Amino acid sequence: MSVRKLKPITPGQRFRVVNGFDTITADKPEKSLIAPKKRSGGRNNNGKMTMRYIGGGHKKKYRIIDFKRNKNGVPATVKTIEYDPNRTAFIALLNYADGDKRYIIAQNGLKVGQTVISGEGATPDVGNTMLLSQIPLGTTISCIELHPGQGAVLARSAGSFAQLMARDGKYATVKLPSGETRMILLTCSATIGVVSNSDHQLLVSGKAGRTRWLGRRPRTRPVVMNPVDHPMGGGEGRASGGHPRSRKGIPAKGFKTRSKTKASNKYIIERKKK
């Protein structure tokens, strides 16, 4: 994993830092595992803009990812490590022994030709998926299920990981990337290792146009809006917009929005760090 700083031969490259892509081994996706991806541009079914600051961007094809890893006991060989425009992490193409092909989220250290396996009999090696009841305590994990058979929902982005802290009864205690410590059923599965592309946070786009290529339009600051458009708008000259809050009036910067009666509160041992 590495990043490259470009020579400033154009203004847009002066501060740009790009991914080295030294772990990528293929530039074309597997045809049987891609699907069309439609863009809404932030519009609803009437053509009215309901989400601001969305639109444009490069055309993408969706890569169908196997988040469930439910092909238990069948070994698979890593054929390629690929770039995925729909996520920050890299993905790996697996060739199963029975001829099936699937994409998974690639972990750091996953190499082409390596064998991975999920379910019973799997060892705690990078890329293998196991139940939380079988993973050794203290192991670094990622792509964690929250409900058995649901598929990975936690720690899926580039460089993220969690740690298996303890087991008690039918629950495992897991420290999540946010710093939150919570209980997860032992029958949920997780993948061993840290998610790939951990240098993603070091990238610098270098120019506004690259953000447009990603489908993000310029965002207007609330302070410069009119009172009709935002609670922080209005005022004479450079007058401040008052207390920071959302367009709907919900305070920001430290205001807790999580419901005190939420059912999953009982599973959270320690809240995430501020």
Whether residue 181 has pLDDT greater than 70: yes
Per DSSP, the three-state class of 205 is coil
CATH topology of domain 3-200: OB fold (Dihydrolipoamide Acetyltransferase, E2P) (2.40.50)
The Cα 84–Cα 61 span in angstroms is 9
pLDDT for 263 equals 94
The Cα 167–Cα 79 span in angstroms is 35
Nearest to 86 by CA among 99, 67, 68: 67
Read off the tokens for 243: 């207390």
DSSP symbol at 18: E
Question: What average pLDDT does this structure show over 130-141?
Answer: 96
Whether residue 132 has pLDDT greater than 70: yes
pLDDT for 272 equals 83
Mean pLDDT, the chain, whole residue set: 94
Run of H or E residues at 82: strand 76-82
Q: What band does 274 get if pLDDT is binned at 50, 70 and 90?
A: low
Ranges of each domain in the chain: 3-200, 229-274
List, in sequence order, every residue forming a beta bridge with 172; answer none if it has no partner. Answer: 167, 184
CATH topology of domain 229-274: Ribosomal protein L2; domain 3 (4.10.950)
Whether residue 221 has pLDDT greater than 70: yes
Nearest to 118 by CA among 81, 159, 149: 149
Q: Which residues contact 38 (CB under 8 A, 6 or more apart)?
A: none
Torsion angle (degrees, nearest 10) of CA 10, 16, 17, 22:
-40
The Cα 157–Cα 91 span in angstroms is 11
Nearest to 58 by CA among 213, 195, 187: 213
Question: What average pLDDT does this structure show over 164-175?
Answer: 96
List, in sequence order, every residue forming a beta bridge with 162; answer none if it has no partner. Answer: 141
Whether residue 264 has pLDDT greater than 70: yes
Share of the chain above pLDDT 70, in %: 99
Per DSSP, the three-state class of 264 is helix
pLDDT for 1 equals 62
